[in-house]
Copies of this chain bind each other. A is one copy, B any other.
Amino acid sequence: MGVVTDKRESLHKAISAIDHGMTVAIGGFGGAGFPTSLVSVLEKRRLHGLTMVSNNAARLEPMIESGMVARIICSFPFGGASDTLRKSIQNAGVEIRLLPQGTLSECLRAAGSGLGGVLTRVGIGTEFGEGREIVEVHGKKYLLEPALNVEVALIHASVADRWGNLVMRGTARNFNCVMAMAAAISVAEAAEVVEIGEISPERCDLPGIFVDKVVKTA
Partner of A114, one of B114, B120, B138, B147: B120
Bound Cα distance A78, B118 (Å) = 32
| Contact B116 A140, beta carbon cutoff 8 Å | yes
Question: What are 30 pairs between A and B in contact, CB < 8 Å?
Answer: A106-B113, A106-B115, A110-B119, A114-B120, A114-B121, A114-B122, A115-B118, A115-B119, A115-B142, A116-B119, A116-B120, A116-B121, A116-B135, A116-B137, A116-B138, A116-B142, A117-B119, A117-B135, A117-B137, A117-B142, A119-B119, A119-B144, A135-B144, A137-B144, A137-B147, A138-B146, A169-B202, A170-B202, A202-B203, A203-B203
Bound Cα distance A63, B146 (Å) = 42
Bound Cα distance A110, B147 (Å) = 15
Bound Cα distance A137, B117 (Å) = 7
A144 proximity list for chain B (CB < 8 A): 119, 135, 137
CB neighbors of B among A135-158 (8 A): 135, 137-138, 140, 142, 144, 146-147
A: which residues have CB within 8 A of B? Answer: 106, 110, 113-122, 135, 137-138, 140, 142, 144, 146-147, 169-170, 202-203
